[in-house]
Structure 1
Amino acid sequence: MTLSENGDLWCDIRTLHPAGNHPALFLDRDGTLIELVDYLSDPAAVVLIGSVLEDIWQANKDGHAVVIVTNQSGIGRGYYRWADFHAVQARLYDLLAAEDLVIDATYACPHPPPDAGGPAHSLYRKPAPGMLTRAADDLNLDLSRSRILGDSVSDLAAGKAAGLPVGILVSDGYGARDAEAARVLADDGFEVIRR
């Protein structure tokens, strides 16, 4: 795992795929892959959301990269440290390994939103596409054949901005709250699926 020089981005690349452009399944973490806990820093509180496990299994089976892209403003707000985030990730990886599921990489941005003291124009905080485009560069991914699963409109907006053709809004986490805003993102180049 690496933390960028200026602390803007945390990257944990766990698996490198063979050369060639591969599609990816991008996943938000909190409220999508694991139950939503505000400012999660306790590994014991990690609980998988079962409805997404099938998506990971299918992506693993098809040889698609599985990449977590997560805003972690609790770090930027001083609520917890990168070491705490890493401990939560280790627990998450263990739970997924017990299900024979593989996460190829995780990207995390610590910036709070601008109205909470974060930078006005973060390259990486969703809805900006920076975590997805960085993953595409690092892992040789084909964004035009990739998709994103998330529980908020910012997840899907990041996917759309990165050039993904599909965003899937899950009903867990903030999914019900953001359903209408996510629907508005749909156009000829970006399909929004609710489930």
Structure 2
Amino acid sequence: MLRPALRALAHGELAPDRLERLLDGLRLEPTPRTEGPGASASTAHRAFTDAEGTPLVLDLSRVGTSGWVLTLFHGGQRPCTGTVEDHRARFRDAVDRLGLTLVEIEPAATADEVHVVAPAPAGAPGAFPGAHWSLPDELDRLWMHLGLRRDAPREVKEVTLRALTRAPAWSAAPVAVRRQVAEFLGEH
């Protein structure tokens, strides 16, 4: 079973010549991946082994009319940090060169790789008047519920916590976790 080690989501239009440059730049074969999560959206992929001998799959998928997902998959043995960071740089370079807009990279290494959804304004469809807190009341236990590992970079944690404090449920958060978050963010 393939598991993502790194995933970048971007959006924008790619004319056929730019799409071909993306495939060539990442040495992707223009055939869809047939296994693993999201295989039905795959448009191109390449299987390879990194310098450490870890079998990997690099994949490009299309989401909707202008969404693009670049994913580095592993089959159980996670690639080394160097391989992941090399692909992070490749993904970011491809997004920049082709004029796409980066939405997020998971796992995030910097604040600009975190996708923050603005809360719906009060009264807007989907907004809810009441708020409830169903998350842990301790910051150390909160990270995984926010999609972060405890060792995530501080700036990634900060931008994620700031987004949480703007969510309607934050008003119902226990005092202890509100205090811990404020201390983490330096807002004593």
TM range (shorter): under 0.3
Higher relative contact order (CA 8 A, sep 6+): 1
Relative to the length of structure 2, the TM-score reads: 0.27
